[in-house]
Amino acid sequence: FKNELLIEADEISGAILKFQKFSGLKQTGYMNQETEAMMLVPRCGVRDIAETELQKRIRRYALLGKKWHHLNLTYKISKYSKHITHKEVEHSAYEAFKKWSDHSPITFTKVLPNENADIDIRFATGFHKFDNDPFDGPNGILAHAFPPEVGMVHFDDDESWTFNKKEGMRILEVMIHEFGHIIGLAHSHSHASIMFPYYKSRSPKLNISDDDINGIHAIYGPNPNEPTTTTQITTTAEEGPTTTTKTPEVSICDDSNYDAMLMHSSHMKIFRGKYFYNIFTVKNETERNLISLTFPGAPTDMDAALYTMGRALFFKDDNVYSFLPQGQRYYLEHGYPKNKATLFPGIPSRISAAFLRQHKTYFVATNGDYYSGPSEVEGITPVKPSNLTIEHLPILIDAVFSWGLHFTYFFCGRTFYKVHGTIPTIDSYGESQIFLLKCEY
C-alpha cells in the first residue's frame, strides 16, 4: 500500500511538472501558489499537444497536422450569444478571421445560418448535442474548436462575454484563438502567442504574434499581398547593394501536412503545396521537385491523387486531371481537366484521399465516409457509398497509398497507420516523417 502511494505521488508530481513546463512556470513538480493560480485561469477546451523534440530546442508554434484543402472558406453563425448583440458577434467574427486572413491566402465569407458553410459558429451551454465535450459553466472552459476540415467552433454562453470592454470575457480575443484551431494551429507554450491556451487580457489592438504568423505560414504560406522579409546581399562596389526578397521554406520534416500520395514503380510521390517529394524506396533517397516542372498543368494544394490504368489522376475541388507518363515527365491527357462528378457519378463533393484496395477504387470524403467503385478507372466510373470500416482509424485522413494487394497506409497528421486483411485491421502505426522520409528529431 505504501509503494502504491509513492507511485501515485510520483505520477502527480510528474503531471504538475508537465503543466508547469507548458505554462512557462518554474518547474518544481509540486503545487505552489503560482501553479494553483494558473490552473484557475479560464482557458480553451482544446487539448494541449505534447512538445516535439524540435519544440524542446526552439520556442515555436505547434500544428494540429491538419489543413483546409481549399482556401475560400465560408462561415455561418448558427446560434448567437445572450450577452452581446448579434451585430457585436458578427463584427467580432469578422475581425477575428481577418487577423488570420491578413497573413495567409485564406479568405473567409459569411453566409446565412440556413446555408451550408465550412465553419459553423455556435454559442452553447453545458452539454450540447453537437459534440461529447460539455461546457463547465463560468470561468472554466471558454470555448473549443475542431481542426480542419470539421469546421465546428463552440463558445460557452455561461461566460460573461463582452464586446470592446475591459471587463468580462472579451469575445474577440477568444474568437481569434479558436479560429486559429479551425485553420490548423495547436496550442503554443509561448505566452506572447494568441494560441497560448490560457485567457489573457491583451491590448485593444490585439495583434497576433510572430509565432502565430510563422505557424500559419508553415501550413498555407503567406498572403500573396503580404510584405515578405527582405535580405540585403552586397555584391561589388560598382553594382551597389541588391535587395532579394525571400520567403523561408518549411522543411517537410517539420510539417506533416501531406496533400496527396502516388505509388508508382519503385518510388512514391508525396504532394504538398506546389512541390512533390520523390521517395525512392530502393535507394532510400528523397528529392524535392516543383509539381509544374514534372506535371505541367497540374493543380497545387490538391485534394487527392491516384495512379491507375497507367495514368496519374489528380483531384482538386470539382475537377480531375489525368496525366500520362513520358520519360521522366508526365503530360496532361487531351480533354482534361474534367468535372469529377461527370467521370465519377456519386463521388462526394469534397474528398481527402483516394486509393486502390482489393480490386476496388476508394475515395475518402472529408467527413470520414468511404465511397468505392471499380478498380479499373477508365471512362465514366460510378461511385457509391461503401461499408468499409477500420476500427480505431481516425476519421480525418490526409493521404493514403497501397503497397501491393495486401497493405494500405493511411496518413493522419504526423501518424501513419498500416492496414491489412480482408477485414481491414490496423497492423501497426508510427510517425510518418520517420517512416517515409527518415527524418531525425
The 10s digit of each residue's pLDDT in 31-57 is 777 666 655 555 544 454 444 433 333
158 is in an annotated binding site: no
| Rounded Cα gap, residues 264 and 287, in angstroms | 15
* 182: CB partners within 8 A, 6+ apart: 119, 145, 146, 147, 148, 151, 153
Burial class (CB in 10 A: 0-12, 13-18, 19+), 127: exposed
Residue 249 is a catalytic residue: no
* Options 88, 178, 239, 285, the catalytic residue: 178
The 10s digit of each residue's pLDDT in 337-367 is 999 999 999 998 888 888 888 778 888 877 6
157 is in an annotated binding site: yes
46 in Cβ contact with 181 (< 8 Å): yes
| Rounded Cα gap, residues 60 and 214, in angstroms | 8
Amino acid identity, position 13: S
334 is in an annotated binding site: no
213, pLDDT greater than 50: yes
Please tell me whether the overall predicted TM-score, pTM, comes out greater than 0.75 for this model: no
Q: What is 260-437's CATH number, 2.110.10.10, 3.40.50.300, 3.40.50.1360, 2.40.50.140?
A: 2.110.10.10
192 is in an annotated binding site: no
> What pLDDT was estimated at residue 322?
93
> What pLDDT was estimated at residue 365?
78
372 is in an annotated binding site: no
196, pLDDT greater than 60: yes
% residues pLDDT > 70 (the chain) = 68
- On average, the pLDDT of the chain sits at 75
The 10s digit of each residue's pLDDT in 290-312 is 999 999 999 998 999 988 888 89
The 10s digit of each residue's pLDDT in 22-34 is 555 566 766 777 6
> What pLDDT was estimated at residue 345?
92
- Where are the chain's structural domains? 2-40, 72-220, 260-437
C-alpha cell belonging to residue 158:
455561461
The topology (CATH level 3) of 72-220 is Collagenase (Catalytic Domain) (3.40.390)
C-alpha cell belonging to residue 283:
535507394
Q: How many residues does the chain have?
A: 441
103 is in an annotated binding site: no
Residue in this structure with the C-alpha cell 499581398, named with its chain if needed: 225
Confidence band for 285, pLDDT divided at 50, 70 and 90: low
The total of other beta-carbon atoms located within 10 Å of residue 404's CB is 7
